[in-house]
Amino acid sequence: MKKAVNIISKPQTNELRKRLLKMEVKDFTCFSSPLVLSFAQNKTYHIRTYGCQANMRDEEIMAGLLENVGFKKTDDILTANLIILNTCCVRENAENKVIGEIGSLKNYRLNNEDVLLAVCGCMVQQEHMIDLIVKKYRHVDLIFGTHNLDNLIELIDISLRDNSRVVDVKSRPIEIIEKLPSLRNLKHKAFVNISYGCDKFCTYCIVPYTRGQERSRPKEEILSECQELINNGYQEITLLGQNVNSYGKDLKNNATFSMLLEEVAKLKIPRLRFLTSHPFDFSSDIIEVMKTYPNIMKYVHLPVQSGSDEILKLMGRKYTSKQYLQIIKDLRKNLPGVHISTDLIVGFPGEGEEQFLETLEVVKEAAYESAFTFIYSSRVGTPAAKLIDNVSREVKGERFQRLVDTLEVSIKKAADQMVGKTYPVLVDGISKKKKEILSGYTETNKLVHFPGDESLIGQIVYVEILKSHLHSLRGKIVDGVNK
């Protein structure tokens, strides 16, 4: 059992809010040591990722770093020599899952002296969570944050050398690291970060504290990453950021998201997507670019959170329901067949029946094709945590159900309207339940299941929709492969 705890850095709550004016861009410098190289020999790693696409992309980067020094991936967590829990803390239940997992790995870790257990990601950007893990979960060897992923190999080296438990979680990012190695999860579709962090500070949200200052990557780096993916036969790229629409605002070179989107579209990737949009920064020039380039998928995820202006104000969302619905109108008018999805929170402090009914009205008017719904969860250190959480658990549950029922009307209608029509579908893989069934997504991000051969994975095929369910469709391939 490890003895000393080596605290290199811990995030300080008052530092988490600070924004530096300028970020330096640096190329990744590779680190390895004889100690790590000999430890990694014939050893395996397993990364368990929770949370959003930002974490999924971080997993790919960590995998790249680990493979560089000789680790091999395993799908079986209970045979891995290095286990990394890549965590999320956006809601309490996300954290509870991770804590449960850390506990369940105790015996495996303690019975295997040559195993390292690491916890990284958003959850440990919170000081109280570090304190909890250091004190209560003494079998965790390594804790590092979202701002120093690139130091992973160095941290493993320190832990091995000193036989210590290492904590290195920075309060804020100090630079943007380019040319990071990565081992991508899929061979046909990829996430490309265009910006990191978030400066919106919605009052309920922990992300600006865990991911830090919004920082846009240089355009040239993004374009060259996209070009390389295209050269390697990728069919789909999703440009990624907590708020993609504000891309470039920190660059001081007049770069905008719509300009970047256009330049990536011109590279001729067959399918181009972007995630997530914020209504405050969603300008009409984005719609213009979407209209011009058929390879930009006609799908927009535009979180509304609430339909009540009063609640939107308390949430710090910086738009009214009227302004939001105007964007929806513009999207539907200019992009026929567009699918729009959203995120909604019920039970925010101060939400009464009247405010909730306003949300239902906006939901009806927006007529979403899909949606993600959440019950408000108070997060330590956010401004909303100081508000009195005056909506009871029962009322939150009941509103959640009414919201889901209302959303289902337009979701079901949109799915039903697809029956009998044929759509191009990018084949993702075989279905979890049946091996002879393939699954993939339409251009508007609808999940489709259909019989077909595994060899079609990664290709775009034409599928006629035969039956609709709420969250997926069933169909059959009609036209062979579209190359």
Query: Which positions lie near ligand F3S, rule CB under 6 A?
Result: 51-52, 54-55, 88-90, 122, 206-207, 210-211
- As measured in angstroms, the least distance from the Cβ of 399 to ligand SAH is 13
Quick one: 386 exposed, middle or buried, by C-beta within 10 A (0-12, 13-18, 19+)? exposed
- Which of 62, 142, 207, 477 is the binder for ligand SF4 (CB under 6 A)? 207
- Which of 108, 374, 400, 462 is the binder for ligand SAH (CB under 6 A)? 374
Instruction: Please give the Cα distance from 440 to 80 (Å, whole number).
Output: 31
CB 184 within 8 A of CB 32: no
- As measured in angstroms, the least distance from the Cβ of 248 to ligand SAH is 17
**Which has the closest alpha carbon to 155: 102, 197, 119, 194?**
119
- As measured in angstroms, the least distance from the Cβ of 415 to ligand F3S is 26
Give strand ranges (E) for 146-298. Answer: 165-168, 175-178, 189-193, 195-196, 215-216, 236-240, 271-275
Give strand ranges (E) for 295-357. Answer: 299-301, 339-346
- As measured in angstroms, the least distance from the Cβ of 442 to ligand F3S is 25
Residue 55, binding choice from ligand F3S, ligand SAH, ligand SF4, none, Cβ under 5 to 8 Å by partner class: ligand F3S
- Which of 173, 303, 307, 452 is the binder for ligand SAH (CB under 6 A)? 303
- As measured in angstroms, the least distance from the Cβ of 35 to ligand F3S is 31
Compute φ and ψ for 208, nearest 5 degrees. -60, -25
205 binds ligand SF4 (CB under 6 A): yes
- As measured in angstroms, the least distance from the Cβ of 377 to ligand SAH is 4
Omega prior to 276 cis, within 30 of 0 = yes
376 binds ligand SAH (CB under 6 A): yes
Residue 245 DSSP class? G
Q: Kindly write out the interface string for residues 235-274 of this chain, putting x where it contacts ligand SF4 by CB under 6 A and - elsewhere.
A: -------xx-------------------------------
The overall longest dimension of the chain from CA atoms, in Å, is 65
3-state secondary structure of 377: coil
Q: Tell me the sheet residues that pair with 447.
A: 441
Residue 96 DSSP class? H
Residue 201, binding choice from ligand SF4, ligand SAH, ligand F3S, none, Cβ under 5 to 8 Å by partner class: ligand SF4
211 binds ligand SAH (CB under 6 A): no
384 binds ligand SF4 (CB under 6 A): no
- As measured in angstroms, the least distance from the Cβ of 94 to ligand F3S is 6
**Which has the closest alpha carbon to 159: 38, 45, 3?**
3
Q: Taken in order 237, 239, 242, 245, is the CA torsion positive or negative?
A: negative
Residue 236 DSSP class? E
3-state secondary structure of 468: strand
54 binds ligand SF4 (CB under 6 A): no
Instruction: Please give the Cα distance from 106 to 140 (Å, whole number).
Output: 8
Q: Which residue lies nearer to ligand SF4 by CB, 213 or 468?
A: 213
Instruction: Please give the Cα distance from 412 to 281 (Å, whole number).
Output: 29
Q: Which residue lies nearer to ligand SAH by CB, 235 or 238?
A: 238
CB 275 within 8 A of CB 301: yes
Find where tokens 């009195």 sit: 388
Q: Kindly write out the interface string for residues 260-279 of this chain, putting x where it contacts ligand SAH by CB under 6 A and - elsewhere.
A: ----------------x-x-
Contact window for ligand SF4 (CB under 6 A) among 52-60, 99-107, 149-157, 202-210: 202-210
Q: Tell me the sheet residues that pair with 35.
A: none
Q: Which residue lies nearer to ligand F3S by CB, 52 or 118?
A: 52
Contact window for ligand SF4 (CB under 6 A) among 32-40, 204-212, 353-361, 406-414: 204-212
- As measured in angstroms, the least distance from the Cβ of 344 to ligand SAH is 6
278 binds ligand SF4 (CB under 6 A): yes
Contacts of 8 (CB under 8 A, 6+ apart): 158, 166, 167, 168
242 binds ligand SAH (CB under 6 A): yes
427 binds ligand SAH (CB under 6 A): no
Residue 208, binding choice from ligand F3S, ligand SAH, ligand SF4, none, Cβ under 5 to 8 Å by partner class: ligand SF4
3-state secondary structure 191-233: EEECEECCCCCCCCCCHHHHHCCCEECCHHHHHHHHHHHHHCC
Q: Which residue lies nearer to ligand SAH by CB, 159 or 195?
A: 195
Instruction: Please give the Cα distance from 126 to 129 (Å, whole number).
Output: 5
301 binds ligand SF4 (CB under 6 A): no
- As measured in angstroms, the least distance from the Cβ of 99 to ligand SF4 is 22
| Tally of CB atoms within 10 A around 384 | 20
- As measured in angstroms, the least distance from the Cβ of 86 to ligand F3S is 8
- Name the site residues for ligand SAH (rule: CB under 6 A): 90-91, 198, 204-205, 207, 242-243, 276, 278, 303, 305, 343, 345, 374, 376-377, 379
- Name the site residues for ligand SF4 (rule: CB under 6 A): 198, 200-202, 205, 207-208, 242-243, 278
